[in-house]
Amino acid sequence: MSTVETADADSGGSLHQRILSDISEKILSGAWAPGHRIPFEHELTTEYNCSRMTVNKALSQLAKAGLIERRRRSGSFVRRPQSQAAVLELHDIRIEVEALGLLYRYERLEQLKRRSNADDRALLGLSAAGSVLWIEGLHFAGERPFALEQRLINLSAVPEAGNEEFLEIAAGPWLIGRVPWSEAEHRIRAMAADEAIADALDIDPGAPCLVVERRTWSAEHPVTHVRFIYPAESHTLVARFTPSQG
């Protein structure tokens, strides 16, 4: 057995993950810009002292995630990663990020418990004033910001949320695990990033963003309103339909 084959047998999984991580970080950090040619398979085989099969597997996964484009006889090139989210599902951003083969991280930026104002009541669909929880957080894909989350929670419907800090775990998965939702509404629009959004997402002020707003109810009680803001160039919304029956 060759030295290369032995290295793969001992640490094929870790080598595969190392190649994925190294290339992903170079793309997302901007070190490798769109159009940059990825080293050829034989060059990566030499660099990582592994088999061509391990390299091919890593590049195939990167292509499937939308980070690179493989061209027959020309090699592999960087393309802008795009996440595809199903519009009609209550999806978890962690799943979106991990589907790209990237490490996910959440960071809370701001959290405030307060008496609802007129804007809060309009967003949640509340008829009377009450306590709400405002949370702003950032979802990361690797080292790059992936989406900015701005959320209001109706504490009359979910009082225990007022005792949570949501420092490293987003409120969405926490709510889904505790409050059975009976109805949801999505609104989708475009916007230009203002200074605060541009700073959070590390994009230029005025850059186009995709905004997905969602409101959920549980037994006719408003639970939460959330706004996800994505850099427009890195996110695609997808929905699949079937003909209605009857």
Any residues with CB less than 8 A from the CB of 33 and at least 6 apart, and which?
A: 78
pLDDT of the residue at 128: 92
pLDDT of the residue at 119: 96
Helix (H, G, I), strand (E, B) or coil at 219: coil
Q: 29 φ, ψ to 5°?
A: -80, -15
Vertex 97, ends 91 and 99: CA angle to 5°?
Answer: 90
pLDDT of the residue at 27: 80
Q: Do the Cβ atoms of 4 and 49 come closer than 8 Å?
A: yes
Per-run averaged pLDDT (10 residues), the chain, 246 residues: 37 76 81 86 93 91 82 82 52 82 93 96 94 97 93 95 92 85 86 96 94 89 95 73 52
Q: How far apart are CA 30 and CA 243, in angstroms?
A: 43
Orientation of helix 52-64 relative to helix 41-48, angle to 10°? 120
pTM attached to this predicted model: 0.64
pLDDT of the residue at 177: 77
Q: How far apart are CA 223 and CA 177, in angstroms?
A: 13
pLDDT of the residue at 3: 33
How many angstroms separate the most distant Cα atoms in the chain?
Answer: 74
Which one-letter DSSP state was computed for residue 126? -
pLDDT of the residue at 190: 94
How many other β-carbons are positioned within 10 Å of the β-carbon of residue 78? 20
